Structure 1
Amino acid sequence: MTSAPYKVPTSRPPGRPAHWSLALVVLAVVLALIGISAAAYYYALRPVTLRIAVGPPGSDDLKVVQALSQAFVASHGQIRLRTIQTDGVTASAQMIAEGRADLAIIRGDLSVPKNAQAVATLRKNVAVLWVPAAIKGKKSAAKITKVAQLAGRRIGVIGRTAANVDLLKVILQQYGIEPGKIDVVQFPITEAVDAIRSQKADAYLAAGPVNSKITSEAVAASTHEGKAPTFLAIDSAEAIAQNHPMYEASEIPAGAFGGSPDRPEDEVKTISFSHHIVARKDLSDTTVDAFTRQLFAVRQTVMKEFPLAAKIETPDTDKDAFIPAHPGAAAFVDGEEKTFLDRYSDFIWWGLMGLSAMGSVGAWFAGYLKRDQRSNNSTLRERLLDMIAAARRSDSTEELDRMQAEADDILRDTLQCFEHGAIEEGALASFNIALTQFHHAVADRRALLMNLSQNLQRAGSALRVTGT
């Protein structure tokens, strides 16, 4: 009996360490999840700096905004403010109209940019019309007691802004006084007191908060020899408010400007308008909501240093408001702020979709890595089947021992593939059948070779006996 000698394969198909490959995939997915979570956390909580336009330099509005900016930093809130100084409310409105500012302090009775929406009312201002007390021995206009009597008079307007002149014209127009029938002269704030003492006008107009220091000083300068100035009531305030929605009917409380006697002695009807904090319409609702919440959270702190902050009020959220409230500010005022899930549900949903996609890609990649192991194991199984035939033809036990050693290695590789999930139980069962058949073939061949060896030994012994 002869057969081709068994040849030990010089090399087997290389197997990739699947457990390391799978571990790297898992590690990559975990790191990606950590990175996504960190990015989402940073995005949600990162400080946002908003540019706010305010002016003019040295004004109370600017001082309030600067105080708010410092309070925002001290509170470690989500919003920070970067102040942009302008020449006044008109320039501030232009800044936000052109998109060069996120927020602005504007005057409600001026042209409001189309892209601006109210966030808060910074302060309310009243129009104050008065006639200085007569100075003994000097010509005066003390006999003026009504707005309608201002025709043909010289009226001094405190402040250089054209908006105050327009305000005066609105009031006079309601009383049928044409602009050409009066002489209007404007005085800078710093020169108002001297102008009043010098009687450079018959009557004066000032616009500002009820407790305005500028107005109080001007009224005080109009008091002579214990006689208080005459305050002119705007009795048609409600009519003016109906014709001009930017104005409201209001009152100046008795004694609002102090002094003795009280200035004024009785409540005086007038009109009012507001300075607003507005935001660009396209500014995120979440950002405006956060700004509004911080604004009213720090207001008490700022009031201690700057009392004017006490005048900050929530915006008018009615649908017919002259300046529509920004949805973010309206949500804060109406108690309809979005929860974390409301704000970031889309991000969470897309994140879950992304994770699902990453999981699918990871599963595909893991399967791709296991493909080599499956292919390698299939080759080893075919090799084992070839070894069954080779074992049945083997002529030596040494050759069978070598095949047995190789089968042990194949078994080890197959079990590793099964542990790593590269092959299923069905494939393992198939391999077990082949391995069992191989063991049977080796055992049968080994028994046959041993019988042949014993028979040859007996035959040799018999021949030696016969020969002798």
Structure 2
Amino acid sequence: MTKVAVNLWPRWLRALLVGAATAAIIGGSWLTYRHFAKPIYLTVAAGSADGEALALTSAISARLAASKSHIRLRVNDSSTSAKAAELLAAGKADLAIVRGDTGGLADARSVMLLTHGVVLIMAPATVSADSLGDLRDTTIGVIGGAINRQMVDALKQVYQFDRAKVRFQDVAIADGAAALSSGQVHVLLAVVPLTEKYLTKMRQLFQNAAAKAAVPKLIEIEAAGAIPNVAPYYESYDIPKGTLRGAPPVPSDDLTSLRVSLFLVANKSVDADTITDLAQALVDVRRDLLSQYPILAQAGAPSTDPDALIPIHPGAATYYGGNQQSFLDKYDDKLYYGSLLLGSLISIIIAAWRFAGSDAEAQSMLEPLYELRHEIKNAKTEPELDETEKKIDDILKAELTKNARGDGADGSEMGAVSLAAQRLHHLMSHRRARLRKS
């Protein structure tokens, strides 16, 4: 397509083409922005016997949505930690809240350490034993049942409960007080975070028992140091003095027990950059929700040791290690190529503006007139000259029509067109005379 042919197009057609091209560029840019700016949704499986894990996860999800975070959570109620681990392993969840002693975590990578569950073995003050090894002919009620089976199995491997006639029986938390009152169990075992909310629940189990004035005592796990040798997901822990009650203090001194960690984990296949952004968002949310959920005071970075119980996710390691890339480092290549693309688009827009504009219209009148000079010189017959003369008349008529609309050439440009037309008519008369003579 020659420049002359393009300039003969109607102005409205050129404007329409430029508008369509501009709309396509703007639409493509908007779709690209939406693609990179839209939130990333991760499914998190959470569940616990008391429902606290689900409530906490839902609060975090709501806060991320309210703050317009780039990372959003879809919460899946899994009822238990074991079920959450199953959903993660099956690829039905990207994240899960699990206890460290939950099985099936081969593909799990830690993102955040949420809290620790501490083993509390509580008994009425009338029980004479002060340590787990001193218990005889006793039934221990295990609150939580299946979730604490790993804990019970670890204790059985270290203590000779068969000789001491110590038995274990699963007890629902709602039935704990009744089981104590009826004598079905003599001691209660629970694994809970050491927060006031959970400690209050433990005290109420004894306040609702038959002996209303009974003050519970804590039984020491004196062999806690040997438990990690048979079950590495547990660690020895000293319960601080006065944890259960302040005056008189219960326990009366630091008491040896066990604890297990509670993690937010991700499937190892989840993108590292996504987990880096998630870890940063969780730290921000933790500050906002701390007053509402005091348990978040215990949240922090998981272990980065290569031999950690649950290896840390590479994306989380990047954030906690302070190796998070800046915006320029992360998008350096994209910004470079984007600037080249932007420059190209600007050049295209300028060319399109010139294509659709009227600044070339005067030139578009002179050029076709100049091209007709060759047709006149090469004409072999008078009908060819007549056809050329018609073209000249059509060009002049089109320019007069534009002037009538107010968008034609100015006076000086029209003068140049008039001189060009006179020159062509002179050449045409000369050529016609020669044809008639020959």
- Relative to the length of structure 2, the TM-score reads 0.72
Q: Which residue of 1 aligns with 2:54?
A: 62
Q: Which residue of 2 aligns with 1:420?
A: none
Q: Which residue of 2 aligns with 1:271?
A: 258
What is the alpha-carbon distance in structure 1 between the residues aligned to residue 122 and residue 391 of structure 2? Answer: 114
Q: Which residue of 1 aligns with 2:139?
A: 154
What is the alpha-carbon distance in structure 1 between the residues aligned to residue 63 and residue 142 of structure 2? Answer: 35
For 1:198, give the aligned amino acid: S
1:81 counterpart = 2:68 = no
Relative to structure 1, is the Cα distance of residues 100 and 404 closer, same or farther in structure 2, using a 3 angstrom cutoff?
Answer: closer
Q: Which residues in structure 2 correspond to 1:17-416 (within 5 Å)? A: 17=9, 27=19, 30-56=22-48, 58-134=50-126, 142-150=127-135, 152-160=137-145, 162-177=146-161, 182-211=166-195, 212=198, 213-218=200-205, 228-258=215-245, 260-345=247-332, 384-385=373-374, 387-388=376-377
Paired residues of 1:254 and 1:266 also in contact (CA < 8 A)? yes
Relative to structure 1, is the Cα distance of residues 14 and 101 closer, same or farther in structure 2, using a 3 angstrom cutoff?
Answer: closer
Q: Which residue of 1 aligns with 2:356?
A: none
Paired residues of 2:143 and 2:188 also in contact (CA < 8 A)? yes
- Tell me how far 1:219 sits from its aligned partner: 5.7
Sequence identity of aligned pairs in percent? 30
Paired residues of 2:136 and 2:164 also in contact (CA < 8 A)? no
Work out the number of aligned pairs and report it. 398
Paired residues of 1:123 and 1:209 also in contact (CA < 8 A)? yes
For 2:87, give the aligned amino acid: M
Paired residues of 2:180 and 2:186 also in contact (CA < 8 A)? no
- Tell me how far 1:320 sits from its aligned partner: 2.3
Secondary structure of 1:305's match? coil
Q: Which residues in structure 2 correspond to 1:414-425 (within 5 Å)? A: none
1:190-239: CA deviation from partner (whole Å, max 9, x where unpaired): 01122223333233311111122333334656896977544332233333
For 2:376, give the aligned amino acid: M
1:103-134: CA deviation from partner (whole Å, max 9, x where unpaired): 22111111143332212122211111233221
Paired residues of 1:226 and 1:260 also in contact (CA < 8 A)? no
Paired residues of 1:108 and 1:246 also in contact (CA < 8 A)? yes
For 1:92, give the aligned amino acid: A
- Tell me how far 1:362 sits from its aligned partner: 11
For 1:234, give the aligned amino acid: I
Larger radius of gyration: 1
What is the alpha-carbon distance in structure 2 between the residues aligned to residue 342 and residue 27 of structure 1? Answer: 36
Paired residues of 1:132 and 1:223 also in contact (CA < 8 A)? no
Secondary structure of 1:92's match? helix
Q: Which residue of 1 aligns with 2:403?
A: none
Relative to structure 1, is the Cα distance of residues 236 and 72 closer, same or farther in structure 2, using a 3 angstrom cutoff?
Answer: same
- Tell me how far 1:63 sits from its aligned partner: 1.8
Relative to structure 1, is the Cα distance of residues 282 and 345 closer, same or farther in structure 2, using a 3 angstrom cutoff?
Answer: farther
Secondary structure of 1:245's match? coil
What is the alpha-carbon distance in structure 1 between the residues aligned to residue 81 and residue 433 of structure 2? Answer: 109
1:391-417: CA deviation from partner (whole Å, max 9, x where unpaired): 9x99xxxx999978967999999xxxx
Secondary structure of 2:28's match? helix
Unaligned runs of 5+ in 2: 353-365, 399-420
Paired residues of 2:112 and 2:279 also in contact (CA < 8 A)? yes
For 2:151, give the aligned amino acid: L
Secondary structure of 2:226's match? helix
For 2:101, give the aligned amino acid: D
Relative to structure 1, is the Cα distance of residues 35 and 321 closer, same or farther in structure 2, using a 3 angstrom cutoff?
Answer: farther
What is the alpha-carbon distance in structure 2 between the residues aligned to residue 386 and residue 276 of structure 1? Answer: 87
Secondary structure of 1:322's match? coil
- Tell me how far 1:32 sits from its aligned partner: 3.9
For 1:253, give the aligned amino acid: P
For 1:191, give the aligned amino acid: D
Relative to structure 1, is the Cα distance of residues 167 and 13 closer, same or farther in structure 2, using a 3 angstrom cutoff?
Answer: closer
Secondary structure of 2:121's match? strand
Relative to structure 1, is the Cα distance of residues 118 and 260 closer, same or farther in structure 2, using a 3 angstrom cutoff?
Answer: same
Farther off after superposition, 296-305 or 103-112: 296-305
- Relative to the length of structure 1, the TM-score reads 0.68
Secondary structure of 1:318's match? coil
- Tell me how far 1:323 sits from its aligned partner: 1.1
What is the alpha-carbon distance in structure 1 between the residues aligned to residue 328 and residue 211 of structure 2? Answer: 66
1:271-295: CA deviation from partner (whole Å, max 9, x where unpaired): 1112211122222333323332222
What is the alpha-carbon distance in structure 2 between the residues aligned to residue 359 and residue 19 of structure 1? Answer: 21
1:140-181: CA deviation from partner (whole Å, max 9, x where unpaired): xx2323322346532221223x13132022123123546995
CA RMSD of aligned residues (A): 4.7
1:14-60: CA deviation from partner (whole Å, max 9, x where unpaired): 97539888766665554444333322322232233332222247522
Paired residues of 1:235 and 1:270 also in contact (CA < 8 A)? yes
